């Protein structure tokens, strides 16, 4: 498998189009200190358009698959060594997450009270999976 330009690092493919920067932010990757190549709005056979993120030199254990599951659940992660993909990882969908995303509901107790920890749980509705706030049941937005 050929991977242009990346020697050792990580390729995150099938990121929803236009969300690559947000995904980097959630993964706590600092674009000013990391060698990153972004391809935005590339053609995708599966989803129309997609973003691709290439991160040079990033160790595979630094990628948080739970966080990736939240923001880009259809993404695929390729681990690149010496210019080729040696391993593929897929995001996980955790049953529960806390401290990663904020509740979008301004009246939620986690928005009005400082000491309440944000928490979201996974809900499956008609085969569609989404995260809802532990306190007010508002759907998570990214």
Hey, CA dihedral for 4, 5, 7, 10, is it positive or negative? Answer: negative
Strand partners, 88: 78
Of residues 75-104, those binding Zn ion (CB under 5 A): 103
Which range touches Zn ion (CB under 5 A), out of 46-54, 66-74, 76-84, 106-114? Answer: 106-114
Residue 25 beta carbon to Zn ion: minimum distance, rounded to whole angstroms:
21
Q: Is 136 in the site for Zn ion (CB under 5 A)?
A: yes
- For residue 53, the SS3 value is strand
Q: Which helix (H) or strand (E) holds 137?
A: none
Residue 118 beta carbon to Zn ion: minimum distance, rounded to whole angstroms:
8
Other C-beta atoms closer than 10 Å to the C-beta of 54 total 21
Q: Is 3 in the site for Zn ion (CB under 5 A)?
A: no
First-to-last alpha carbon distance for the chain, in angstroms, is: 33
Q: Which of 80, 124, 135, 129 is nearest to 102 (CA)?
A: 135
Which range touches Zn ion (CB under 5 A), out of 26-34, 63-71, 120-128, 132-140? Answer: 132-140
Pick 13 or 138: Cβ nearer Zn ion: 138
Other C-beta atoms closer than 10 Å to the C-beta of 10 total 23
Q: Is 138 in the site for Zn ion (CB under 5 A)?
A: yes
Residue 128 beta carbon to Zn ion: minimum distance, rounded to whole angstroms:
20
**List of residues contacting Zn ion (CB under 5 A):** 103, 105, 108, 133, 135-136, 138
């Amino acid at each position: 498998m050929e991977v242009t330009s990346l020697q050792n690092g990580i390729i995150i493919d099938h990121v929803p189009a236009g969300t690559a920067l947000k995904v980097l932010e959630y993964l706590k990757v600092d674009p000013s200190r990391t060698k990153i190549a972004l391809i935005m709005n590339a053609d995708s056979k599966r989803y129309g358009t997609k973003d691709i993120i290439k991160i040079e030199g990033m160790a595979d254990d630094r990628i948080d698959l739970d966080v990736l599951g939240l923001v880009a659940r259809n993404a695929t992660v390729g681990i690149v060594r010496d210019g080729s993909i040696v391993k593929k990882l897929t995001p996980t969908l955790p049953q529960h997450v806390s401290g990663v995303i904020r509740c979008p509901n301004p009246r939620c107790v986690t928005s009005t009270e400082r000491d309440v920890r944000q928490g979201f749980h996974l809900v499956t509705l008609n085969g569609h999976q989404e995260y809802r706030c532990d306190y007010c049941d508002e759907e998570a937005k990214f």
